[in-house]
Chain A
């Protein structure tokens, strides 16, 4: 199947010489939720801005919904809705007008029923006659989403959608994103909240210094890069690791009461079994044991700061 968004050999160097993107290649399939992770200044927003037409690419090509974003910009852009990071709103406009304006701008004939549905879905209906400036930050964020959905896009970009948003609104937004996906909309979001990517994304891309260093199914990523940790609470403190265990990834805690064994979740079974057998043979007794899996956040920090 043709990808909904296809980015090929995309590079961007800004006028001041800063290279924001380095030869990025990425395919996003129809109907998936793709999360783009990366530290500040990694190039997430530049990538989105190029796809949406806000920034000129230096080289490379991008297609959206099968259309080249430059040669066939009308068809490409009509398919895209963008919710930028900053709360850029027309303060003096009324909610209804500003959302209707967006629909017109994207070349769609007026459709009050659709605008009403969007506003109701986002709990903005009661505020439709309020000026945007009178709304709270969270409500403004909803207005921006309503604007992006006003022209019924097939692809939705959410640039840091939940930055500075309270927990309740965040849950609402996740709910909304899921509903949109059910209706067939492709969603690309950037986020700092790993929790968010973990909660929602089908696939995750990690971008660092303008390079897309990894694109993976969330589940695969978790299992591939996830480290597991087995902690054994010992009956009696140990002075030092028995020599039989020294060549294994085991550490002894400072107080000597805990053995910490780390392993990749891929090869775990044999390792754990072997370890426990060895401990039995050595006569080491333990009270309790626990395992934990590293979260996406730890994986992410590992990726961004190591290698």
Chain B
């Protein structure tokens, strides 16, 4: 195990976050705060409770998930895409690090950033609405597990992308709609029956539902199913990454 190697990649990636603190931390915090102001405080005060939870508090888990997914994907995809783009990837490929170590370095750093960001947003939410966390252990577990899973997914996108626009496409065109339609702002019970069924094909529903359960003990879907779905997605990503490194796909001709 090349621990120094993992640490070098991890520290390099974390340094990138500190260098770009404004865009890494400030901008997601600001945009999430806007959601809290508009949906939590302004509109939320006119809305009824959902499952006995005030609307402002109800949307917290979903909004954190939104940021978590977007940031995990964009951090990890950018982290591996940039060296490919600039050519500095040669050094990682020629170094005595195994692909598992490379992934731990890049994905570990991306996931760390997202978790920090998730916690920062959680703290920010306190400024706007009152909430409680019923199962802190599960809340943190969901946060970490989701961050890792979607950082792996981002890593795959970063390897697959052959231009900056592709880096943007997946988070914008796929993740944002999935999160908005995944029950961030509503309980899926509120949908017509046909849409409830369709929604079940949206993987993000399980993440938000499970995360919300960790906060308030209520969920649209059983917690076991939510955890199972994350695990399925996590496994899929790992299999895909193993394939990428075995074949050298877009990394090693």
Partner of A107, one of B90, B91, B92, B96: B96
Q: Is the interface of B mostly helix, strand, loop or mixed?
A: helix
A-B contact count (CB 8 A): 81
Q: Specify which chain A residues have a CB less than 8 angstroms from the CB of B12 in the assembled complex.
A: 90, 93, 101
* Binary CB contact string for chain B from 86 to 106 against chain A (1 if under 8 A, 0 otherwise): 111011111111100000000
Most buried by B among A104, A105, A106: A105
**In the complex the two chains form, is A104's CB within 8 Å of B7's CB?**
yes
**In the complex the two chains form, is A86's CB within 8 Å of B94's CB?**
no
Q: Which of A46-95 contact B (CB under 8 A)?
A: 52-56, 73-78, 80, 82, 84, 86, 88-93
Q: Is A15 located at the chain interface by the 8 A CB criterion?
A: yes
Partner of A14, one of B2, B4, B95, B253: B253
**In the complex the two chains form, is B90's CB within 8 Å of A82's CB?**
yes
**In the complex the two chains form, is A92's CB within 8 Å of B7's CB?**
no
Q: Specify which chain B residues have a CB less than 8 angstroms from the CB of A105 in the assembled complex.
A: 4-5, 8-9, 91-92, 95, 97
Q: Which of A151-190 contact B (CB under 8 A)?
A: none
Q: Specify which chain B residues have a CB less than 8 angstroms from the CB of A101 in the assembled complex.
A: 8, 11-12
Q: Is A277 located at the chain interface by the 8 A CB criterion?
A: no
Q: Is B192 located at the chain interface by the 8 A CB criterion?
A: no
**In the complex the two chains form, is A77's CB within 8 Å of B94's CB?**
yes
**In the complex the two chains form, is A84's CB within 8 Å of B5's CB?**
no
**In the complex the two chains form, is B4's CB within 8 Å of A109's CB?**
yes
Q: Is A108 located at the chain interface by the 8 A CB criterion?
A: yes
**In the complex the two chains form, is A77's CB within 8 Å of B15's CB?**
no
Give A134 to B239 CA distance when docked, in angstroms.
41
**In the complex the two chains form, is B5's CB within 8 Å of A106's CB?**
yes
Q: Is A130 located at the chain interface by the 8 A CB criterion?
A: no
Partner of A147, one of B15, B91, B96, B253: B91
Give A62 to B87 CA distance when docked, in angstroms.
24
**How far is the CB of B10 from the nearest CB of chain A, in Å?**
10
Interface size on B, residues (CB 8 A): 27
Give A56 to B94 CA distance when docked, in angstroms.
12
Give A102 to B92 CA distance when docked, in angstroms.
9
Q: Specify which chain B residues have a CB less than 8 angstroms from the CB of A75 in the assembled complex.
A: 96
**How far is the CB of A162 from the nearest CB of chain B, in Å?**
19
Q: Specify which chain A residues have a CB less than 8 angstroms from the CB of B88 in the assembled complex.
A: 88-90
Give A271 to B87 CA distance when docked, in angstroms.
56
Most buried by B among A52, A86, A91, A107: A107
Q: Specify which chain B residues have a CB less than 8 angstroms from the CB of A107 in the assembled complex.
A: 2-5, 95-97
**In the complex the two chains form, is A54's CB within 8 Å of B95's CB?**
no
Q: Specify which chain B residues have a CB less than 8 angstroms from the CB of A52 in the assembled complex.
A: 94
**In the complex the two chains form, is A86's CB within 8 Å of B96's CB?**
no
Evaluate whether A74 and B90 lie within 8 angstroms (CB atoms) in the complex, with A15-B253, A105-B9, A106-B95 already known.
Answer: no
Q: Is A97 located at the chain interface by the 8 A CB criterion?
A: yes
11 more CB-based (< 8 A) A-B contacts, given A89-B86, A104-B4, A107-B95: A14-B253, A53-B93, A56-B252, A93-B12, A102-B8, A102-B91, A103-B4, A103-B8, A104-B7, A106-B96, A107-B2
Residues of B within 8 A of A (CB): 2-5, 7-9, 11-12, 15-16, 19, 86-88, 90-98, 248, 252-253
18 contacts between A and B (CB under 8 A): A52-B94, A53-B94, A54-B93, A55-B252, A80-B94, A84-B87, A88-B86, A88-B91, A89-B88, A91-B86, A92-B19, A93-B15, A97-B15, A103-B4, A104-B5, A105-B4, A107-B3, A109-B4
